[in-house]
Amino acid sequence: MAKLTPKPLNKKPLNQLLPTPILVFLALILSLLLILFLSQQHLSQFSSPDANDLTLFRRATTHTTTHIFTLIKPKPKIAFLFLTNSNLTFAPLWEKFFVGNNHLFNIYVHADPTTYVTSPDGVFQNRFIPSKPTKRYSPSLIAAARRLLASALLDDPLNQYFALVSQHCIPLFSFQFIYNYLFKNELKLFAHTSEFNLLYPSYIEILSEAENLNIRYNARGENVMLPEVPFEDFRVGSQFFILNRKHTKVVLRDQKLWNKFQIPCINKYYCYPEEHYFPTLLSMEDLKGCTGFTLTRVNWTGSVHGHPHIYTPAEVSPELFRQLRVSNWSYSYLFARKFSPECLAPLMNIADDVIFRD
């Protein structure tokens, strides 16, 4: 009997089985899916609020409490929000600043988890919140500030002012001076609400004119900010502010402007979202409730690549503090930046006799 030999299958290449237009279409779909996946990975790492953020913001803006009504003459508190990507070098100076006032403040620290940040002892111990990576030229700094605001808002209903500072910031006065300066009026409790309402302004710089403002506006592409943010409503100001409780909720409830500001920039060298988002939003929502100026002094003389002047140990002196406190307006600066880490020793040397002697 003859041996049967299997006949080999005639395997045709895929490009012969499918018409060329279909192959092109499939390749296009796969390319688009890959681009979408990679872009989502990039945005989720540096800007877009994930489910945890959205849940936090929602809880912070809808949470109510009634236990503060049981307190006898409750005192409002200042929430100090430290935004950092390196060690809190000036923690000893801040420790001296806070001493004896534990009932009047709370501390919250957002530390970039991609860098190693040591948790100081004392008042900073266990005050680090769940954090995400931050990166310059991206909206991640906005997201980090919102995360700090939400954590502080939810944590303590007595938090009435929210002061954003960095690891390079230092106080220019004693705690009591700053506290009394901010809370000039009596605390008012309204009978038909479930929390405190303070009629205090937010201290945030809001400028409508600045160098290269138009270039910054179009950093994501020409007219990308439209229609939500027309150029005539685009504002700029210091990244560091002191917001009241009302405006903190405005920031956390916002989604419309955030959707625009989280778009990645094409021209990254003119991309400073954190200097535009907060001033633009509050200017559009409640300009009259904002002072329009910041209480954090920054020296832009001789700035390099968008970085302000960094003070060195040789510059630390009583005269420097007298200069830093003075403003062209009818108020005093309460904080200042940037100081190099090496300034800690000379700052501690003059803390009692100069910095904290009002």
Compare 203 and 4 and report the one with higher pLDDT: 203
Residue 273 phi/psi, 5-degree rounding, is -55, -35
Give tens-digit pLDDT for 218-266: 999 999 999 999 999 999 999 999 999 999 999 999 999 999 999 999 9
According to the model, what pLDDT value does residue 302 have? 77
Domain count, the chain: 1
Compare 142 and 193 and report the one with higher pLDDT: 142
Give tens-digit pLDDT for 181-212: 999 854 444 333 445 555 689 999 999 999 99
Residue 117: CB atoms within 10 A of its CB come to 18
According to the model, what pLDDT value does residue 192 have? 38
Give me Rg for the CA atoms of the chain: 26
Compute the half-sphere exposure of residue 117: CA atoms within 13 Å on the CB side of its CA: 26
d(CA 158, CA 101): 14
pLDDT at 15 over 60: no
Residue 338 lies in a domain: no
Distances (CA, A) of 325 to 32, 240, 358: 55, 16, 11
Residue 341 lies in a domain: no
Residue 162 lies in a domain: yes
d(CA 348, CA 8): 87
Compare 303 and 163 and report the one with higher pLDDT: 163
Residue 221 lies in a domain: yes
Compare 60 and 31 and report the one with higher pLDDT: 60
To the question of pTM greater than 0.85 for the whole model, the response is: no
Give tens-digit pLDDT for 61-120: 998 765 555 566 789 999 999 999 999 999 999 999 999 999 999 999 999 999 999 989
Give tens-digit pLDDT for 294-320: 999 999 887 777 789 999 999 999 999
Residue 285 lies in a domain: yes
Residue 6 lies in a domain: no
pLDDT at 176 over 70: yes
Q: Kind and range of the H or E element at 153?
A: helix 140-155
Residue 325 lies in a domain: no
d(CA 306, CA 300): 9
Q: Which domain holds residue 96?
A: 52-59+74-295
- What whole-number percentage of the chain has pLDDT above 90? 72
Residue 353 lies in a domain: no
12 band by pLDDT with thresholds 50, 70 and 90: low
Q: Where do we find the tokens 């402007």? A: 257
Contact 335, 240 (CB under 8 A): yes
